[in-house]
Amino acid sequence: CNTSGVPSRKMPGCTIPRMFRGAVGTIARTQNSHPMAFPLDWLAEELETLDRLELRRHLKVRTQPQGATIDWEGESLVNFGSNDYLGLAADPRLANAATEVLQATGLGAGASPLITGRGVWHARLEQQLAEWEGTEAALLFSSGFAANSSVIAALADRGDIVFSDSKNHASIIDGTRLSRATVRVYPHADMDYLAKLLSQSGTFRRRLIVTDSLFSMDGDIAPLPELVRLAHDHNAMLMVDEAHATGVFGAQGRGLCEQFGVEDEVPIRVGTLSKALGGHGGFVVGSRNLIDWLTNRARGYVFSTAAPEPICAAMLAALEIVRNEPTRRTALLESAQQLRADLRAQGWFLGESTSQIIPILLGSPATCLRFSAWLRERGFLVPGIRPPTVPEGESLLRISLCHGHTPAIRDDLLAALAVARETIATP
């Protein structure tokens, strides 16, 4: 009999119950010249490696709603870490809508939407999303991550090829891997390279191009008109994830496909409810055939319990605000433009950001953490983003500008960064 909890080859049914393994392990160590290893012993060493590289994350507790300021681990901080771009996460109109429906429907959906989980409020939200996006149908997912990974895997398989931007979100990367298709990653926004890859893809059954519209760490924008042209020229499906653009860009707030005027030429569009709309979940919009196919083949939809209906009611309230209060997004983008100009005037390198996401590119994780910690000591939460979230050598401070950041708050941050630039050594 062994001590690992795995049946022995000699005695197939013999295992040590979990509650006794520590005692048995102690006995084994006294009988052998070296300690016996257990299956998870490697974790301590790997965590020490993360510590040494300054890449280990630690969970912290927020004790008040999302907003321009938050209480985080007992500190009151100006919050530049949230994706609550329109300031809706704590809007009482969303909370009131959810509370009212909660009393009528309860909380849990109980099952997958295909079994007994889909309710009236799920159907209403999907109908409103489709109408807002100008498509035939929409489908809700438990998260934007689930939407991306599930949709790609449902549209591509062995014998197909997927083309993915090198800076796409992790959910897209995972989706390409789950698809079992051949995957070609093209350099960030390099349309010439993508054209070359597409020209060599004639032997594949289907071709799928997938991209973020607004890249979540760099704050720059995909060349959507060029992507549409390449997809048309090479008979490829085109999927665009509007997660960070939904609610912020476009005349009606639908995102960058709307802003560029290419919505009708992007047949697969993904959005999220958890950023500018202030809630939780993801969605896909497109043709009726697309949504019917995903209903049957998107594993993250088929095998997930439906979201609570009160969330759907809150998201309907959020859509109404996005429609009726366009100044939220226009003022946000004007504020971001001003902040970018002021930061560049101080000498910071911001890459190609043209959005409410403003990265200060610093390079090394250690430098990034020093700046982030310095700012936190002075009351600003500006997250330091390190690998694997960004590539090696591209660690950055990510400033996420939101509706509640007044000009005075913005000026305070600029003043702090000016001092930080003179105070903290950089490589």
Which position among 122, 167, 169, 244 bears the catalytic label?
Answer: 244
Other C-beta atoms within 10 Å of 64: how many?
A: 12
* Interatomic CA distance for residues 100 and 229, integer angstroms: 46
Q: Is 396 helix (H, G, I), strand (E, B) or coil?
A: strand
Q: Is 403 a catalytic residue?
A: no
Which position among 275, 304, 403, 405 bears the catalytic label?
Answer: 275
* Interatomic CA distance for residues 50 and 369, integer angstroms: 14
- DSSP class of residue 136 equals S
- DSSP class of residue 16 equals -
Q: For residue 398, what is the enclosing H or E element?
A: strand 395-400
Q: Is 386 helix (H, G, I), strand (E, B) or coil?
A: coil
* Interatomic CA distance for residues 257 and 125, integer angstroms: 21
138's CB contacts (< 8 A; 6+ apart) are 126, 127, 129, 130, 283, 284, 285, 291
- Using alpha carbons, select from 85, 87, 82, 80 the residue that is nearest to residue 381: 80
Other C-beta atoms within 10 Å of 345: how many?
A: 10
Which position among 149, 179, 216, 335 bears the catalytic label?
Answer: 216
Q: Which residue is it, tokens 């591209």?
A: 394
Q: Is 164 a catalytic residue?
A: no
- Using alpha carbons, select from 282, 380, 306 the residue that is nearest to residue 78: 380
> Which two three-digit tokens encode residue 188?
């960030």
* Interatomic CA distance for residues 348 and 366, integer angstroms: 17
Other C-beta atoms within 10 Å of 12: how many?
A: 8
333 forms beta bridges with: none
Cis peptide bond upstream of 388, omega within 30: yes
400's CB contacts (< 8 A; 6+ apart) are 80, 81, 82, 83, 85, 356, 357, 358
Q: Is 216 a catalytic residue?
A: yes
* Interatomic CA distance for residues 331 and 406, integer angstroms: 10
Q: How does DSSP assign 87-123, residue by residue?
A: S-TT-HHHHHHHHHHHHHH-S---S-IIIII--HHHH
Residues marked active site are found at 216, 244, 275
